[in-house]
Amino acid sequence: MPTFAQSEDEKMLRDIFDAALTEGKAYEHLRQLCKDVGPRLSGSEGADKAVKWGQKVLSEIADTVWLQPVMVPHWERGDTEHAEIRLSDGTVIPTQICALGSSVGTPAEGLTGEVVEVFGIEDIEKLGEEKLKDKIVFYNRPMEPRLINTFAAYSGCVDQRSSGASTAAPFGAKAVLVRSMGLRQDDLPHTGVQRYKKDVKKIPAAAISTNGAKMLSKKLREDPKLQVHIKLSCQNFEDKLSHNVVADIMGELYPEEIILVSGHLDSWDLGEGAHDDGAGSVHAIEALYLMRKLGIRPQRTIRCVLYMNEENGPNGAIEYAKQAKLQKMNHMIAIESDRGGFTPRGFSIDGTEDVQNDALKQIEKWEELFKPYDIHHFDKGFGGVDIGRLKDQDIPLVGFVPDSQRYFDHHHASNDVFEEVNKRELELGAASITSLIYLLDKYGINTNEN
């Protein structure tokens, strides 16, 4: 009786949302993770604390919790991050920068050089060694404000940050400054991963705020010979042992079939990693919590994975995917929340071609159930960095999609703090994900039911 089934499902989704909004723990868990644990970059003490916290919280909810060992990078920012613009007339203008993840430091006395402004890594080869030797390369392509989805704008710029240093170093550049990945004009530099290519000289790499970038660009037009002085004390250490936190509610009928829900436990060292990805971590925990709270006994195993080292890895995701293959784990589907704790809009479906099509088809059947919560936007698209590592195992991947407008105001910056997460928006996200899990568990994919 489909009518009965639907009204039962309608009721259950209503119960899930009600519980999330009135008895949920997501907001309190986020407070703990942001305020009691704090920033938690891989390899840091904060990351160790986060693992212990995740293990403890999940122990009170799940049937089993285990830690999956994974080696992670260990990089520290150190005490000194200083930059100043030195004009030809002797004027000195200080400007705020922050080192990019894995950057080497400068010599203790800092380094100084003229600046070449470029608008993308593709400019580097055109300029060549003649123009770039001994210069500081200033990557200043802004995020495209006309893109409605801010993640698309991010994708169009982030190569400047991730590979700007290694692209410029072979041409003799002595350091790079990268315009922060943000759509807002403000004074906050945004960090993030940058990767040195093998056998390329490691030169210091730092982010400059959008206001700083605007000012530097203007000053360069007026005074092309100005110099920038940079001092960074960051350094890389030996890799360290850390862990993914994995927790299961065992399925009653098909315990070997896993529905995975995840966020990442590590964060950058600036701010508190509230939206990135405290929100995703507590979303994943809350899915298990709400199922318990409501007495939902799943047919399949519901697994929460709090990945380690998404930010400058993703070693946690690589290790989990490797073990999934080795141990022949049977994942029905994998869900990730890593786009912040904003008002939910829907889900983005990824996977190898047939797998993606089947999953989208299945989820679209539930459109009417999701409509009352305004979360019925289902599209093909990226699932997430961590679950992405499972794609070649033909597992359907689902990315949770909240509103994206404010995400890059906080991303990897010192204002990614608990206070910037709205309680209701966070809770609605948790309820959305839990509702999807409930339906996936009940109906599976590619079945004739519902």
> Among the candidate windows 164-172, 243-251, 293-301, 398-406, which touches its own copies by CB under 8 A?
398-406
Rounded CA-CA distance 422/93 in Å is 37
Q: Residue 448 corresponds to which amino acid? A: N
Tell me which of 5, 8, 11, 18 binds its own copies, using CB under 8 A. Answer: 18
State the nearest-atom distance from the C-beta of 398 to its own copies, in Å: 18
Rounded CA-CA distance 144/380 in Å is 22
Site string for its own copies, 21-60 (x = CB under 8 A): xx--------------------------------------
Question: Residue 274, interface with its own copies (CB under 8 A)?
Answer: no
State the nearest-atom distance from the C-beta of 170 to its own copies, in Å: 35
Structure tokens at 344: 């939910």
Annotation marks residue 419 as catalytic = no
Q: Between the CA of residue 415 and those of 38, 274, 365, what are the distances in Å? A: 13, 9, 39
Question: Residue 428, interface with its own copies (CB under 8 A)?
Answer: yes
Please, how many CA atoms are within 13 Å of residue 363, restricted to the half-sphere of its CB?
A: 29
Question: Residue 405, interface with its own copies (CB under 8 A)?
Answer: yes
State the nearest-atom distance from the C-beta of 145 to its own copies, in Å: 5
Question: Residue 409, interface with its own copies (CB under 8 A)?
Answer: yes
Comparison of 74 and 406: residue with beta carbon closer to its own copies: 406
State the nearest-atom distance from the C-beta of 270 to its own copies, in Å: 20
Number of residues counted as binding its own copies (CB under 8 A) = 25
Q: Residue 352 corresponds to which amino acid? A: T
Rounded CA-CA distance 110/126 in Å is 28
Region class of 170: left (phi > 0), else alpha (psi between -120 and 50), else beta:
alpha
Comparison of 273 and 341: residue with beta carbon closer to its own copies: 341
Tell me which of 63, 354, 367, 374 binds its own copies, using CB under 8 A. Answer: 374
Question: Residue 214, interface with its own copies (CB under 8 A)?
Answer: no
Tell me which of 32, 211, 227, 343 binds its own copies, using CB under 8 A. Answer: 343
Question: Residue 393, interface with its own copies (CB under 8 A)?
Answer: no
Catalytic residue among 310, 319, 336, 427: 310
The dihedrals phi and psi of 302, each to the nearest 5 degrees, come to -100, 115
Q: Which residues neighbour 158 within 8 Å (Cβ) at sequence distance 6 or greater?
A: 181, 192
DSSP label at 170? Answer: G
In this structure, the number of other CB atoms found within 10 A of the CB of residue 112 comes to: 16
State the nearest-atom distance from the C-beta of 118 to its own copies, in Å: 22
Listed in order, strand segments (DSSP E) in 77-226 are: 81-86, 92-94, 97-99, 111-118, 136-139, 175-179, 205-208
Tell me which of 1, 92, 130, 146 binds its own copies, using CB under 8 A. Answer: 146
Question: Residue 119, interface with its own copies (CB under 8 A)?
Answer: no
DSSP state letters, 197-253 = PTTS----EEEE-HHHHHHHHHHHHH-TT-EEEEEE--EEEEEEEEEEEEEEEPPSS
Residue closest to 86 by CA, chosen among 76, 74, 94: 94
Give the H/E segment covering residue 192: none
Q: Between the CA of residue 292 and those of 298, 338, 394, 432, what are the distances in Å? A: 10, 23, 29, 16
Rounded CA-CA distance 84/82 in Å is 7
Beta bridge partners of 97: 208
Helix, strand, coil % (nearest 5) of the chain? 40, 25, 35
Question: Residue 423, interface with its own copies (CB under 8 A)?
Answer: yes
Comparison of 92 and 148: residue with beta carbon closer to its own copies: 148
Question: Residue 406, interface with its own copies (CB under 8 A)?
Answer: yes
Tell me which of 237, 372, 394, 446 binds its own copies, using CB under 8 A. Answer: 372
Comparison of 355 and 431: residue with beta carbon closer to its own copies: 431
Site string for its own copies, 87-116 (x = CB under 8 A): ------------------------------
Rounded CA-CA distance 272/242 in Å is 19
Beta bridge partners of 259: 302, 333
Question: Residue 148, interface with its own copies (CB under 8 A)?
Answer: yes
Question: Residue 211, interface with its own copies (CB under 8 A)?
Answer: no
State the nearest-atom distance from the C-beta of 345 to its own copies, in Å: 7
Tell me which of 69, 78, 94, 145 binds its own copies, using CB under 8 A. Answer: 145
State the nearest-atom distance from the C-beta of 277 to its own copies, in Å: 20
> Among the candidate windows 49-57, 204-212, 226-234, 416-424, which touches its own copies by CB under 8 A?
416-424
Residue closest to 427 by CA, chosen among 289, 266, 267: 289
Comparison of 10 and 374: residue with beta carbon closer to its own copies: 374
In this structure, the number of other CB atoms found within 10 A of the CB of residue 153 comes to: 21
The dihedrals phi and psi of 205, each to the nearest 5 degrees, come to -135, 130
Active site residues: 310
Residues that bind its own copies (CB under 8 A): 17-18, 21-22, 145-146, 148, 150, 183-184, 343, 345, 372-374, 377, 403, 405-406, 409, 422-425, 428
